Amino acid sequence: MSNHISLELIDASGAVREAADDAGISRQDFFKKGALAGGGFLAGGVLFNGLISPAEAAISTRRKSKANDVKILNYALTLEYLEAAFYRAALGGSIITDARVRSFAQTTGAHETAHVRALRDVLGSAAVRSPSFDFSSALQNEKTFRDTAVALEDTGVSAYAGQGPNIAQKAVVQAALAIHSVEARHAAWIRFLNGGGEAGANRTALPAPAAFDPRRTETQVLRIVTATGFIES
How many independent structural domains does the chain possess?
Answer: 2
Whether 1 is in a domain gets the answer: no
pLDDT in tens, 169-190: 999 999 999 999 999 999 999 9
pLDDT in tens, 19-78: 445 444 454 544 444 333 333 334 333 344 433 333 345 889 999 999 999 999 999 999
Band (pLDDT 50/70/90 cuts) for residue 17 is low
Percent of the chain with pLDDT over 90: 61
Per-residue pLDDT at 124: 93
Write out the residue range of the structural domain in which residue 136 sits: 66-228
171 plus 221 within the same structural domain: yes
DSSP letter string, the chain:
--SB--HHHH-TTSHHHHHHHHHT--HHHHHHTTTTBTTS-EETTEE-S---SGGG--S-SS---HHHHHHHHHHHHHHHHHHHHHHHHHHHSS----HHHHHHHHHHHHHHHHHHHHHHHHHGGGPPPP--B--GGG-SSHHHHHHHHHHHHHHHHHHHHHHGGG---HHHHHHHHHHHHHHHHHHHHHHIIIIITSTT--GGGSSS-SSS-----HHHHHHHHHHHT-B--
Whether 233 is in a domain gets the answer: no
Percent of the chain with pLDDT over 70: 76
Question: In this structure, what CATH number is given to the domain that contains residue 191?
Answer: 1.20.1260.10
pLDDT in tens, 130-141: 989 999 999 999
pTM: 0.77
Band (pLDDT 50/70/90 cuts) for residue 13 is very low
